[in-house]
Amino acid sequence: MKSILKQAAVAVAALGFAAGALAQGFPSKPVQMVVPFTAGGPTDTVARSLAVAMGKHLGQSVVVENVGGAGGTVGAGRVKNAQPDGYSILLHHIGMSTAPTLYRKLAYNPQTDFETLGLVVDVPMTLIARSDFPAENFADFLKYVKANNTKLNLANAGIGAASHLCGLLFMSAIETDITTVPFKGTADVLNALLAKQVDFTCDQTTNTTSQIQAHVADKSKGVKVYGVTSAKRVATLPSVPTLQELGMKGFEVGVWHGAYAPKGTPKAAIDKLVAAMQAAVKDPEFVKRMTDLGAAIYTADKITPTAHAAHLKSEIERWAPIIKKAGAYAD
């Protein structure tokens, strides 16, 4: 009996050693980064820039895979169930902190089923409408929305997406219900807006900046913008007022992004991924792309597992009462 136990102990130690040794050589093959929304959208844009920059540091490519659906919860669930070996990571946003309140049955616990790697960027949202929306300013927009709420479509990327959260806050602030139309990502929402199939949405500047600029140049093109959700105006869209300036008290949503690995990923792999993220956010191409699109890059002290975990916890606590007050749940 004793010797069986001893053999088992040796086997367990050997396995631990093997995992450690594997992690030492990490990464020996490409790393997969899951984006829980469709390609070409705002989170995808951040992920693809980050992946290229991380790849330079890791000496292996970081390959983005889009797994859209249910406001980002399908992709997050995929990474929760992936091998915890460092080769599967998730790039998600604020939705990681709102899903536990929004979903009565969520297939994962954001705090206990993942290793937080670090925060990446914080992105403001813009309130935008199809180019021919019959309102030239926010006051007229509000009047029109309230008078025509039953006829309008407010698009989003599914329950738990930032666009959903922003739309929810908007409807709650103006005490008006509007029919919402879910897509798998705001890349699809933007296409639907450009095709005038939906009326308006809230979306991140990483997706909307070029279409807002296109509309300024030619009123028949792109999308109309009414306001931004940040506390201060966005440097790249200086003429667009904040929603707070427009009288929407306390309306502030910053779409913070962070990276995750499945729980149990070896520390040696985590350390290398975090170091790659730290290097990536200083990469000139990454910095330029993010800055041009209105995203604020986190400082190095926030690109750590502990700072990210603390932020996630405080965001879960911050949004729970707001979501409950808005009375929004999904099964």
**Which residues lie near ligand ASP (CB under 6 A)?**
37-38, 41-44, 93, 157, 161-163, 185-187
Number of residues that this document lists for the chain: 331
Residue 55: DSSP 8-state: H
Distance of CA 75 to the CA centre of its chain: 12
Listed in sequence order, the residues at least 6 apart from 77 whose beta carbon sits closer than 8 Å to its beta carbon are 107, 108
- Residue 317 beta carbon to ligand ASP: minimum distance, rounded to whole angstroms: 20
Alpha-helical regions (H) of the chain: 2-24, 42-58, 73-80, 95-102, 138-147, 162-173, 186-194, 205-217, 267-280, 284-292, 305-326
- Residue closer to ligand ASP, measured from CB, 189 or 270: 189
- Residue 68 beta carbon to ligand ASP: minimum distance, rounded to whole angstroms: 7
- Residue 254 beta carbon to ligand ASP: minimum distance, rounded to whole angstroms: 12
Residue 167 one-letter amino acid:
G
Task: Give the whole-angstrom CA distance, residue 128 versus residue 125.
Answer: 9
CA dihedral sign, ordered 235, 238, 240, 246: positive
Strand partners, 34: 65, 90
- Residue closer to ligand ASP, measured from CB, 23 or 312: 312
- Residue closer to ligand ASP, measured from CB, 161 or 223: 161
- Residue 47 beta carbon to ligand ASP: minimum distance, rounded to whole angstroms: 9
- Residue closer to ligand ASP, measured from CB, 23 or 79: 79
Tokens of 119: 């925060």
Task: Give the whole-angstrom CA distance, residue 228 versus residue 299.
Answer: 23
- Residue closer to ligand ASP, measured from CB, 116 or 126: 126
- Residue 97 beta carbon to ligand ASP: minimum distance, rounded to whole angstroms: 12
- Residue closer to ligand ASP, measured from CB, 171 or 269: 171
Q: Which of 85, 106, 72, 68 is nearest to 19 (CA)?
A: 85
Q: What phi-psi label fits residue 241: left (phi over 0), alpha (psi between -120 and 50 degrees) or beta?
A: beta
CA angle 323–324–326, rounded 5-degree value:
65
- Residue 128 beta carbon to ligand ASP: minimum distance, rounded to whole angstroms: 12
- Residue closer to ligand ASP, measured from CB, 162 or 178: 162
- Residue 113 beta carbon to ligand ASP: minimum distance, rounded to whole angstroms: 20
- Residue 325 beta carbon to ligand ASP: minimum distance, rounded to whole angstroms: 21
- Residue closer to ligand ASP, measured from CB, 145 or 168: 168
Residue 39: DSSP 8-state: T
Listed in sequence order, the residues at least 6 apart from 225 whose beta carbon sits closer than 8 Å to its beta carbon are 126, 127, 128, 208, 212, 215, 237, 240
